[in-house]
């Protein structure tokens, strides 16, 4: 049986096509920019994921939509919040996961799991881009670097810089003043990564951060962010192979549970 | 907004103001709730990182949309309330603006002090409007409001049932009538409403829904309630927010000095988070959680509301200690960022 999870995020839309059953296998996946028209983005991403899986849409038995645009996945059998999906997705790769740090385009979330993978509590950033992927995107533009170079550049930092503004707009002016003071790009980027972890860690401290800690979401691709968290939490952070698709994967995993449940009911 | 108002009206903001006095003076107490939308005029006076409710109400006042009010009475319930008083007095043409000082401690002394403040307020009001508020009219008003509170209590008692007769959305619609309706008409309306639901107890099946208690400050717009109830698996059975229970808890005694009794009633009702925490509030809340068989608590604070956000910290621990889930959310008194709240609320309801 084949199922799919579609995660319509603020920045990107992700689709995972999954072989359900006892041994689960990712058959196909896709990540594209979320366009203004959610319906078109969803169609495109799904058809690309299906092509990569060499599967026809009619062979999919169950689809779950998630992410902030989940209600626009018109053909979904069910809609689930991305918090639940990241919980399932992270637990699939790391059965010992107890705390998940998920940083996406507009949200940062801390999700706490019990030893069965069930979500027991969560916290989210408030209505503000501070400490999110959007924050890093804006800063990358100011610093004239590509977003995916930031991690590597920050590893070459030599001087510690503190970016104290939480607000993306004010932090941008702070960065501009650091540039005019002659600081190196690498050091500023390192300071920005510190600003993100400083913003997210207190969210987690409210719930209590337990090992193992997993990081998911697009921002987890940034190695500089990971090492900033590892230093401040004095703990290893586990990152799945493709952290950006964990929400979509979680949605597909819930879809596979749903089909198993309906099957059990029928029998 | 004012087409329904048939008699001179006095604006009010907080349930620590004894509305009986306004009614006894021959005015309609009209609750000021703003419009959930505009801030531009207020933001030229007040910093934008200030209570959004106060900024919105002030903005609507600056737009002249409260011109029909003959006066407004604020309380110093929080610093934002005081600021609204200052700004309203300075920047609008409202004829009468008064700030009633409400004690934060409840004991025999503070009840006597609040009684004196109510007396001073009455004298000030009488002089300004050249009227007389008689003792008899205060007794009559107290009887009307007591009846109102008893009717609301009856309605709330029905919400304790396994299958509550109304949703939280219906409750907010009922209460929103209360803030613009004459108390006698509202009593008649409530009485009729109660007889309808008592004769038709099973109109909707809300039996298997998760029972939610909504807590926090100012919530008058139905949109937040809809997010909680729209998916059909949850129902709000109790509200501990600025009006509601804080409005109808406890009757005013009518067998002694009426101002003393009003003072006692208003200070002894379930305390708002602005009051000194002596344990009374938690005792009342834990009893409510029990009586209404609450499955989960959703606590909504306005952004920058020091009173509500700080008091939520200890409350969260207390509620977790009795094994109930607790969700803290923040709003900015607009309907603009509703989707982020939807994600939090949906996840929370799934966890229950």
Task: Look at residue A266 in the predicted model and tell me its pLDDT.
Answer: 62
Q: Are residues A214 and A260 in the same domain?
A: no
Q: Which residue among B303, B332, B347 sits closest to A81, beta carbon to beta carbon?
A: B347
The whole-angstrom separation of Cα A101 and Cα A111 is: 7
Minimal CA separation from A179 to chain B, in Å: 29
- Using CA atoms of A253, A254, A259, A264 in order, give the dihedral in degrees to the nearest 10: 110
The whole-angstrom separation of Cα B96 and Cα B29 is: 14
Q: Are residues A51 and A168 in the same domain?
A: no
Residue B325 pLDDT greater than 90, yes or no: yes
Q: Is B63 within 8 Å of chain A by CB?
A: no
Task: Give the domains, in start order, of chain B with CATH numbers.
Answer: 9-131 (3.40.50.11890), 137-351 (3.40.50.11900)
Q: Are residues A128 and A228 in the same domain?
A: yes
Contact list, B346 vs chain A (CB under 8 Å): 81
Q: Are residues A106 and A220 in the same domain?
A: yes
Q: Which residue among B330, B339, B347 sits closest to A122, beta carbon to beta carbon?
A: B347
Q: Are residues A230 and A111 in the same domain?
A: yes
Task: Look at residue B130 in the predicted model and tell me its pLDDT.
Answer: 97
Q: Which domain holds residue A45?
A: 2-86+245-266
Tens digit of pLDDT for each residue in B157-212?
999 999 999 999 999 999 988 888 899 999 999 999 999 988 875 677 899 999 99
Residue A43 lies inside a defined structural domain of this protein? yes
Q: Which residue among B330, B346, B347 sits closest to A126, beta carbon to beta carbon?
A: B330
Q: Are residues A78 and A47 in the same domain?
A: yes
Q: Is B343 within 8 Å of chain A by CB?
A: yes
Tens digit of pLDDT for each residue in A237-255?
999 999 999 999 999 999 9
Q: Are residues A206 and A144 in the same domain?
A: yes
Q: Which residue among B337, B339, B351 sits closest to A119, beta carbon to beta carbon?
A: B351
Coil, strand or helix: which one is B173?
helix
Residue B116 pLDDT greater than 90, yes or no: yes
Q: Find the range with the poorest average confidence among A58-67, B28-37, B42-51.
A: B42-51
Task: Look at residue B4 in the predicted model and tell me its pLDDT.
Answer: 63
- Domain total for chain A? 2
Q: Do B350 and A122 touch (CB under 8 A)?
A: no
Minimal CA separation from B173 to chain A, in Å: 27
Residue A201 pLDDT greater than 70, yes or no: yes
Task: Look at residue A262 in the predicted model and tell me its pLDDT.
Answer: 78
Cβ neighbours around B285 below 10 Å, total: 21
Residue A131 lies inside a defined structural domain of this protein? yes
Mean pLDDT across chain B: 92
Cβ neighbours around B325 below 10 Å, total: 19
Contact list, B319 vs chain A (CB under 8 Å): none
The whole-angstrom separation of Cα A223 and Cα A202 is: 21
The DSSP call for residue A104 is -
Q: Which residue of A has its CA nearest to B313?
A: A206
Q: Are residues A54 and A103 in the same domain?
A: no
Interface probe, candidates A124, A250, A251, chain B, greatest B C-beta count within 10 A? A124
* Pairing of the two strands A2-8 and A12-19: antiparallel
Tens digit of pLDDT for each residue in B50-107?
899 999 999 999 999 999 999 999 999 998 989 999 999 999 999 999 999 999 999 9
Task: Look at residue B179 in the predicted model and tell me its pLDDT.
Answer: 86
Q: Do A127 and B346 touch (CB under 8 A)?
A: no
Q: Tell which wins on pLDDT, B336 or A43.
A: A43
Q: Which residue among B337, B339, B347 sits closest to A84, beta carbon to beta carbon?
A: B347
The mean pLDDT of B301-326, rounded to a whole number, is 92
The most confident of A110-119, B159-168, B302-311, by mean pLDDT: B159-168
The whole-angstrom separation of Cα B253 and Cα B217 is: 27
Minimal CA separation from A117 to chain B, in Å: 13
Q: Do B347 and A126 touch (CB under 8 A)?
A: no
Q: Are residues A196 and A103 in the same domain?
A: yes
- Using CA atoms of A137, A138, A139, A145 in order, give the dihedral in degrees to the nearest 10: 60
- Residue B297's DSSP bridge partners are B213, B326
Q: Are residues A249 and A234 in the same domain?
A: no
The whole-angstrom separation of Cα B287 and Cα A25 is: 51
- pLDDT bracket for residue A116 (50, 70, 90): confident
Q: For residue B278, how far is the Cα from the chain centroid?
A: 21
* Nearest residue to A16 via CA among A214, A217, A215, A250: A250
The mean pLDDT of A83-95, rounded to a whole number, is 95
Q: Which residue among A83, A120, A126 sits closest to B343, beta carbon to beta carbon?
A: A83
Number of CB pairs, chain A paired with chain B, less than 8 A apart: 31
Q: Are residues A172 and A151 in the same domain?
A: yes
- A1 Cβ neighbours under 8 A, 6+ residues apart: A19, A20, A21, A61, A62, A256, A259
Q: Do A124 and B340 touch (CB under 8 A)?
A: yes
Q: Is B339 within 8 Å of chain A by CB?
A: yes
The DSSP call for residue B337 is T
Interface probe, candidates A102, A121, A167, chain B, greatest B C-beta count within 10 A? A121
Residue A63 lies inside a defined structural domain of this protein? yes
Q: Which residue of B has its CA nearest to A70?
A: B343
Q: Is B344 within 8 Å of chain A by CB?
A: yes
- B22, B188, B249, B255 from B178: Cα distances, Å: 15, 11, 15, 27
Residues 267 to 306 of B: which have CB under 8 A from any A CB? 303
Tens digit of pLDDT for each residue in B268-291?
999 999 999 889 999 999 999 999
Residue A91 lies inside a defined structural domain of this protein? no
* Nearest residue to B292 via CA among B215, B204, B202: B215
Contact list, A107 vs chain B (CB under 8 Å): 340, 343
Q: Are residues A161 and A79 in the same domain?
A: no
Q: Do A81 and B346 touch (CB under 8 A)?
A: yes
Q: For residue B105, how far is the Cα from the chain centroid?
A: 20
Cis amide prior to A88 (ω within 30 degrees): no
Residue A212 lies inside a defined structural domain of this protein? yes
Contact list, A81 vs chain B (CB under 8 Å): 343, 346-347, 350
- B109 Cβ neighbours under 8 A, 6+ residues apart: none
Minimal CA separation from B223 to chain A, in Å: 17
Q: Do A68 and B343 touch (CB under 8 A)?
A: yes
Residue B20 pLDDT greater than 90, yes or no: yes
Token pair in block for residue B316: 């969260």
Task: Look at residue B2 in the predicted model and tell me its pLDDT.
Answer: 53
H helices of B200-352, where? 222-229, 245-248, 258-268, 280-291, 306-321, 338-351
- B211, B285, B296, B319, B322 from B290: Cα distances, Å: 11, 9, 11, 12, 10
The whole-angstrom separation of Cα A130 and Cα A153 is: 21
Check which CATH number belongs to the domain holding A178 and give it.
3.30.420.40
């Amino acid at each position: 049986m084949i199922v799919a999870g579609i995660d319509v995020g603020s920045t990107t839309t992700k689709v995972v096509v999954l072989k359900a059953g006892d041994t689960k296998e990712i058959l196909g996946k896709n990540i594209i920019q979320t366009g203004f028209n959610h319906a078109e983005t969803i169609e495109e991403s799904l058809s690309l994921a299906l092509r990569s899986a060499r599967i026809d849409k009619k062979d999919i038995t169950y689809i779950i939509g998630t992410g902030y645009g989940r209600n626009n996945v018109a053909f979904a059998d069910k809609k689930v919040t991305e918090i639940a999906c990241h919980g399932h997705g992270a637990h699939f790769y790391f059965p010992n996961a107890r705390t998940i740090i998920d940083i996406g385009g507009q949200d940062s979330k801390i999700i706490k799991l019990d030893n069965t993978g069930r979500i027991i509590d969560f916290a989210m950033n408030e209505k503000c881009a501070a400490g999110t992927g959007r924050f890093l995107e804006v800063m990358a533009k100011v610093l004239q670097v590509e977003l995916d170079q930031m991690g590597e550049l920050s590893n070459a930092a030599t001087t510690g810089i503190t970016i104290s503004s939480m607000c993306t707009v004010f932090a941008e002016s702070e960065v501009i003043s650091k540039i005019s003071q002659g600081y190196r790009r690498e050091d500023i980027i390192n300071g920005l990564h510190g600003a993100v972890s400083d913003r997210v860690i207190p969210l987690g401290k409210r719930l209590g951060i337990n090992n193992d800690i997993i990081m998911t979401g697009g921002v987890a691709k940034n190695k500089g962010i990971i090492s900033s968290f590892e230093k401040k939490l004095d703990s290893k952070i586990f990152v799945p192979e493709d952290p950006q698709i964990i929400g979509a994967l979680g949605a597909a995993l819930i879809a596979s549970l749903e089909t198993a449940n309906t099957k059990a009911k029928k029998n | 907004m004012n087409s329904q108002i048939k008699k001179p009206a006095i604006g009010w903001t907080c349930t620590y103001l004894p509305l009986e006095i306004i009614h006894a003076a021959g005015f309609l107490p009209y609750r000021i709730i703003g419009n959930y939308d505009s801030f531009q005029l207020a933001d030229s006076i007040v910093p934008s990182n200030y209570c959004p409710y106060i900024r919105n109400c002030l903005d609507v006042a600056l737009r002249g949309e409260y011109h029909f009010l003959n006066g407004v009475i604020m309380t110093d319930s929080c610093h934002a309330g005081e600021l609204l008083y200052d700004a309203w007095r300075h920047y609008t043409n409202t004829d009468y603006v008064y700030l009633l000082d409400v004690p934060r401690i409840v004991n025999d002394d503070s009840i006597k002090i609040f009684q004196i403040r109510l007396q001073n307020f009455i004298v000030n009001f009488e002089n300004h409007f050249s009227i007389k508020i008689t003792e008899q009219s205060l007794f009559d008003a107290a009887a009307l409001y007591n009846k109102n509170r008893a009717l609301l209590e009856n309605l709330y008692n029905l919400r304790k049932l396994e299958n509550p007769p109304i949703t939280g959305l219906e409750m907010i619609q009922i209460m929103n009538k209360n803030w613009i309706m004459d108390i006698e008409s509202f009593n008649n309306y409530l009485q009729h409403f109660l007889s309808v639901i008592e004769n038709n107890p099973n109109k909707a099946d809300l039996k298997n829904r998760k029972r939610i208690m909504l807590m926090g400050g100012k919530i008058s717009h139905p949109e937040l309630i809809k997010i909680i109830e729209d998916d059909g698996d949850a129902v709000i059975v109790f509200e501990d927010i600025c009006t509601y229970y804080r409005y109808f808890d406890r009757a005013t005694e009518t067998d002694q000095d009426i101002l003393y009794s009003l003072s006692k009633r208003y200070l002894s009702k379930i305390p708002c988070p602005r009051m000194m925490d002596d344990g009374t509030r938690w005792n009342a809340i834990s009893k409510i959680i029990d009586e209404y068989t609450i499955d989960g608590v959703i606590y909504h604070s306005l952004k920058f509301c020091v009173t509500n956000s700080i008091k939520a910290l200890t409350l969260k621990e207390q509620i977790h200690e009795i094994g109930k889930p607790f969700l803290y959310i923040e709003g900015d008194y607009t309907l603009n960022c509703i989707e982020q709240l939807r994600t939090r609320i949906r996840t929370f309801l799934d966890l229950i």
